[in-house]
Structure 1
Amino acid sequence: MRTDYVFTSESVSEGHPDKVSDQISDAIVDLFLSKDPEARVACETLTTTQLVVLAGEIRCKGVYENDAWAPGALEEIEQTVRDVVKKIGYAQDGFHWETLEFINRLHGQSAHIAQGVDAAGNKDEGAGDQGIMFGFACDETPDLMPATLDYSHKILQRLSEDRHSGKAPFLEPDAKSQVTLRFKNGEPVAATAVVVSTQHQEGYDEGEKENELKSYVRKVVTEILPEGFVTDETKFHINPTGSFVIGGPDGDAGLTGRKIIVDTYGGAAPHGGGAFSGKDPTKVDRSAAYVTRYLAKNVVAAGLAKRCTIQVSYAIGVSEPLSLYVDLHGTGTVSEEALEAALTKVAAEKLGGLTPRGIRVGLGLNKPIYFQCAAYGHFGRKPEGDLFPWERTDLVDDLKAALG
């Protein structure tokens, strides 16, 4: 494992076209789970100039049953979509929450998928798909996340807060950030480059207004990064292409699931390839990625390693995972083999195992908690009430006990 290097991660704001799509898809998941905790949802969203299209497969009591929509369901879905766009802040000629065209192409779940996933007789609930999922944690930040991604998220969150509050009225919803840090002895010590591209109102691309925007962004970056990280050698690239007035779905089409690295670990850890947003928690692309983050975070929080990667794999329709793999990247105080056994034991005792049912019941995932995840990362967030249960560190003592 290298100890001295330079590494970069990026983030995108809630107004980025792909993130608009993710948030709409997860708002639909929340809507259906609020009606039926056992709802099945696979919702994809396309956004472009003055248009939102939904597509995918669903099953939900009181909303869509026996190949028919319940009275008022279609109207509620459309209102949910418009409310998301309004909340983000899009009221522009090219993308307006009130006047955009909406097309709904959601339909019933395939019976062939349902028969593999649903519990029946002596058969437990199976995984909603085959695949591999990864969880990761490291001690670079208090949230046990890669520092480059953590700061990239937080820069954009601050811009969003200031836009919504009116503190930075010249900002518009679409934005991207990128943070490059220098690491010494495995620890982040300085920012070598920061890139921020933010949509803005007319006129903020030249003269005094441009200087106002760029000064504001530099101030935010300096406040977000740890003291001393920004130096005279830090390179700033703020709106490097020039004007950024046309943005969001009007500037570029958005699709659910295209920001999977932003959603997870910023490239600092492997990714299994499956997106999260728009999927109910029987889909292990989502639930297994959450539980492996939960386990990895508790490993690092327990002081058992400075870095931890966990992989699990599943077959569609099969309840038990096919494999569990742990890599401590040479930073562990215990062996990976011993930790794999301890994690299996603790997961069985505290969650009911690493089956799809064990994960979603043990973590309380059958709740409308997903819209809050769909921008600024699914990991490294503060667990509050039902939100972000996979960010808890309540397995620390159990892991230590299981390892003797």
Structure 2
Amino acid sequence: MFRLPRSTLSGILLSSYTASSIYSLHRCLLSATVAGSRISPSPSFAVDEYLVDTCSLTRPQALKASAKISHIKSPTNPDAVLAFLAGLGFSGADVSALIAKDPKFLCASVGRTLSPIFKELTGLGLSHSEVVRLVSLTARSGHFRHRFVVSRVHYYLSLFGSSENLLHALKGRFCFLGSDLERRVKPTVMLLQECGLGACDIAKLLTVVPSMLTANPERIRVMVACAEGIGVPRGSRIFRAALHAVAFQSEEKVAAKVEYSRNTFGWSHAEVGIAVSKFPNLLRNSKDKLQRMSEFFISEVGLEPAYIAHQPVMLGYSLEGRLRPRYYVVKFLKKNGLLKRVPKCSTIFHYVEKSFVDRYIRPHKEDAPHLAEDYPAACRGEMCWNF
């Protein structure tokens, strides 16, 4: 548990941060900042003990972190930083996690760095809670301690279209806030624009593949060529999906996935080309999923490989959560003479959930009342999918 520093800031940290306590906090921070240059080193101050006692790091974490901030000789600045974080709404667990990832955060100046950055970020439209999330997401990289973070967040807010999209992209292991905007990021964005992707498509692509923002632009060109190589031309409606499907994969690996799909479904070279060009995300499916899909569509449902190749979007749906339950609902209705006309399989699987229920469940609540309970239970995996 996060324990408060034994200093004049303890009272501030213990407060509920009402208007008066916020005022006291700023006065205290100002005093600490001004006095920082006058306070002599404390002979009894030990960084590793401070990290354990005050920041609640474990012994191993403290030993590792203390090596990076061994020059700290007084708790004055660390106390001010902790008070600043508490004022933003950081919990004890949040603080511990932050300091464990970025112990140098305790060295940052509240008055010259942290407070101005926070003020400028909220000026860009980020809420207090979003700034807290941003600090946590960038902790390992330490970017929040540098003033350049403001201009880069400003650029990325425009690129991603919203703070939520930006924060979602930062959840991954690639912290692109440190990438050179002029040499890497902007050339990549320009190349994507040249491929016919609009601002919305670029934002969606980079949200799911944020590592593209840290890659060399030449590598992005290779991805573009690979996407074209699977039969999806630039400017097409699904070019974004094609880039996502081949991102950071070698041509050999992509070719191997295409060949595996061809063999698994018994497609000809022309048919696998049709399937991949219509649904590039086919290449993101695991071998196990492709095998199970093949067994279901060909062995259970009885579809021809050519039909599947021309309706490959079906391969993107959940087998247990969508395909099998729907197939057995329609099979049941057909067996009991409750369907006037049997729809195509692709039609059954493509319906949004509400439309499927409105067409095949609700109209039969008198003749098959159990379907209304059995179908959703099967979709949730709570009962056998064949009811």
Q: Give the number of the structure whose alpha-carbon radius of gyration is greater.
A: 2
Alignment TM-score, normalising by the size of structure 2: 0.21
Greater helix share, structure number: 2
Greater strand share, structure number: 1
Structure ranking higher on relative contact order (CA contacts 8 Å, 6+ apart)? 1
